[in-house]
Structure 1
Amino acid sequence: MRFIVNILAIIGLIAVTCAGIGYSKINGILSEAGMNIDDVKNLMSELDPKAMEVYADFAKKFMVNKDPGDAMVWKVPVDEDISVEDVTESLKSLATNYGLLFVGESPFYKQVEAVTGNPYRHVSFLSFCDVKVGVQMAEHNNAYTAFMPCRISVVEDQQGKLWLYSMNLDLMIHGGKELPPKLKAGALKVRDTLLKIMEGASHGEF
């Protein structure tokens, strides 16, 4: 909970800094959380150099729909001429090409159909892993296993349009104290690889 309060405090400070107003209101909110603006500034000085940029991006996305889900993910549209089967096979192929291990697929839509007896739009989850980086993450902090393995969801929206979604790893990588150099380099490699895979698969590349 304290971490969430800190995130909201930082987002509030960003908003205040950008708008140049509302210090008394923000101070009131922080006071209720047992903090003040100096506490937030001190906290920010201990964070990764890109933390401010990452939280600002989070705040910007959050303000569009007021939904944290939209702010916490990457979302890539799939070309209209690419089928579900093609984009799925493309994801698997590109993952292999980039050195990520494909570790499983969960056809959520089939599970929905089995339970409800009714057809459902395509929603499936593909899981990928870089074992060496995964070990580093687990050894650094067991909580990081909650992010493992990396997942990309293939989603047909209510209008029939295909999208690829994945958790935005920037908050994990840059949102706190700077990670140890080796772990940070590995995490950034996985981050960049996931984005390349999603972008390539959205165009049907193999």
Structure 2
Amino acid sequence: MMQEKIIYPQLPTPSKQWQLMRPIRWVATLLRDLFALIGVLVVGAGLFFYTQGQQATEKFDTQFMTFFGQFIERLLVSDMLDAMMVKTPIEQGVKIQDVIKSIQTAAPQNRMNLVARHALSKSFSELSGKEARFLEIFELADLQNSLALVSRAPDYAMLMPYRIMLYEDANNQLWLATFNLNLFAHSTARLDETMQLQLQNSQESLLKIINAGASGVLP
């Protein structure tokens, strides 16, 4: 009796092209999964920082984001210090002595006491033996508002006395500059509306003094 021969079907042999594609497909799958994971992490981080940002801004008043946004815009095109300043150019034809006299006259009219002057350019010239560009600092105090402000938030004493800077740039243009107090008025939860208003009033007084000095006209 003849034994029946059983023939088993042969499995198809993978082609060389398929064998070459396998590692490529594996890498593609790995990259797809990796990018998906990165996407999840980015979304999660975005949600986290958005939540943290919302909680942080709740400490400030409604005008904080407006002033902070303006600060960021200036920061992107200048630097940190410049973004914190309010600057006004001196009008053409106005002499330095006219600027100084206008500041001295406008200060008491706007509830500010001129407590000190620092002629730094003179000191720089004596130190270097060369003529320095003009630079003078005026220190002003708003005593009534300052007392109430420091009693509530002692850290704000670092801003006092308030300063107005009269300086000459590299193009021989004269400028008056001071800190933008509105940034500080809206950047803390420690100041109530009354304190914020007092700080804003001090800012307005400084700007009026600067405008008087820039025009050289006695108020």
**TM-score above 0.5:** yes
Segments of structure 1 that go 5 or more residues without pairing to the other structure are 1-22
CA distance in 2, matches of 1:144, 1:129: 13
- AA aligned to 1:36 is F
Q: Where in structure 1 do 4 or more consecutive aligned residues deviate above 4 Å? A: none
Of 39, 46, 56, which residue of structure 1 is paired with 2:59?
Answer: 46
Of 182, 193, 203, which residue of structure 2 is paired with 1:181?
Answer: 193
CA distance in 1, matches of 2:125, 2:86: 27
Of 37, 57, 60, which residue of structure 1 is paired with 2:50?
Answer: 37
Of 61, 86, 90, which residue of structure 2 is paired with 1:78?
Answer: 90
- AA aligned to 2:133 is R
1:147-186 equivalences in 2 (<5 Å): 147-177=159-189, 179-186=191-198
CA distance in 2, matches of 1:99, 1:56: 30
Q: TM-score scaled to structure 2, two decimals? A: 0.76
Change (3 A) 1:26 1:120: farther
Give me the identity figure in percent: 23
In structure 2, the residue matched to 1:132 is: 144
Preserved contact between residue 47 and residue 178 of structure 1 (Cα < 8 Å):
no
RMSD after superposition: 2.1
- AA aligned to 2:60 is L
Segments of structure 2 that go 5 or more residues without pairing to the other structure are 1-40
The Cα shift of 1:200 comes to 2.0
Q: TM-score scaled to structure 1, two decimals? A: 0.80
Preserved contact between residue 98 and residue 217 of structure 2 (Cα < 8 Å):
no
Change (3 A) 1:91 1:36: same
Larger Rg: 2
Secondary structure of 1:36's counterpart equals helix
